[in-house]
Amino acid sequence: MDFLAYQFTIITPVFIYFAAHYLGQERRIGWTLFYLLLIPFVRFCRSFFDAHATFLLNLLGTEISNSVSIGMVSKAMRFSTLCNKQFKMGQISSLMQVDCFRLSLLPKNFNSIIFITYCLIFSIVFMALVVGLSFLAGFGVLFIVSVINLLISRVTGRYQREIAKATDNRMKITNEVFNNIKFIKVNAWE
């Protein structure tokens, strides 16, 4: 389904090119109007197929996340949290919250990687055919922006790792507080 959204995404610039090409010729005004009227229909189809594909990918991500969560809970139920020295309850709940959420985003992000690659290849070829060799200036700007984006994403990744460490520490402290409350209640030291 998402492949159709890809096709409708790349058809719009082609129709705009044909409309501009035929607009320069006086006898072809009918074709220009045809292409200009066809563009909203193509945009509607793209939006429809894109929304449907997004729904299916979100559904797949939710199913993956839920399957992993159920597996983690069933595994955690087999072992006592007091005897388990490797994973404490805070770590298990952190894994379920953070990592399962990341797994739910996997299908959509993987699809975005494919879509971006597809659009970049089409854009480069289309610019080379329409503009000629001067498309290299646009490609240079695209390359420079990609490098800047890579640097920013590395800095963002470093901050996200720091946030994850802080979240783990918060969960450890919360778990310790709850364990101490349980210990006080069990021993009736209220």
Average pLDDT over residues 105-117: 84
Task: Report the pLDDT value the prediction gives residue 190, as an integer from 0 to 100.
Answer: 57
Give the pLDDT confidence of 43-86 residue by residue, as tens digits. Answer: 888 888 888 888 988 899 889 888 888 887 777 677 665 566 66
Task: Report the pLDDT value the prediction gives residue 155, as an integer from 0 to 100.
Answer: 95
pTM: 0.57
Note whether residue 182 is domain-resident: no
Note whether residue 154 is domain-resident: no
Task: Specify burial of residue 32 (Cβ count, 10 A radius: 0-12, 13-18, 19+).
Answer: middle
Note whether residue 126 is domain-resident: yes
Distance CA 133, CA 100 (A): 47
Number of domains in the chain: 1
Note whether residue 184 is domain-resident: no
Note whether residue 156 is domain-resident: no
